[in-house]
Amino acid sequence: MDLEITGRGTQVTAKLRQQAEEGLARIEKILGPKCVAKVVLSCEKNRCEVEVTVRNTLGDYSSRTSAKDVDIALKEAIDKVEAQAVKARKKVITNSHHPEHTATGSIRLQTSDSDETNTVKSKTDPESKRLAQSKTGVGKAIAAIDDGEFGDEQDVEAA
């Protein structure tokens, strides 16, 4: 991570630099190594402001906090940016792990609701063959349909 620390009206001490590097190292674990971070420390009479900006391929994250002490303001700003990064990372993971649902692999989506009788894919489909060979309820149902055990004959006998 590229880090740029600027002090306006205050000197950047080794302690502040170390605190910023440790906090941004946590953010780097979340977002990855391709990050650019800018930290601006500014102090006036009774108030110190810290602005932290992190730029990444996922987006830009920034926070501006103020407190009486620079250490406290820096910690709060880094915590806010870290929370933003975690939230953005969760969105990326959720979207990539839940793609659009298609009919492959789902028995319910493979049946056609437009016909009055629900039909399952034929015996030649390898997915249906695999399910028919399994000992689950779905596999037994597919095997029974393929063998012709269910159909018009049962409807006539039931009536």
Interval 49-102: pLDDT, tens:
999 999 988 889 999 999 999 999 999 999 999 999 999 888 877 666 655 555
- Provide CB contacts within 8 A for 41, sequence distance 6+: 5, 6, 7, 8, 10, 12, 16, 48, 49, 50, 70, 74
Interval 143-159: pLDDT, tens:
677 776 655 554 445 54
Q: Which pair of structure tokens corresponds to residue 105?
A: 């692999």
Identify the CATH number of the domain defined by range 2-97.
3.30.160.100
CB 118 within 8 A of CB 151: no
Query: What is the phi-psi region of residue 54: left when phi exceeds 0, alpha when psi lies from -120 to 50, beta otherwise?
Result: beta
| pTM score | 0.58
Inter-axis angle of helices 14-31 and 70-97, to 10 degrees? Answer: 10
* CA quadruple 15, 21, 24, 25: dihedral sign: negative
User: Domain locations in the chain?
Assistant: 2-97, 107-148
CB count in 10 Å sphere of residue 128: 20
CA–CA distances in Å: residue 58 to residues 41, 61, 90, 100: 25, 9, 11, 22
β-pair partners for 36: 2, 55
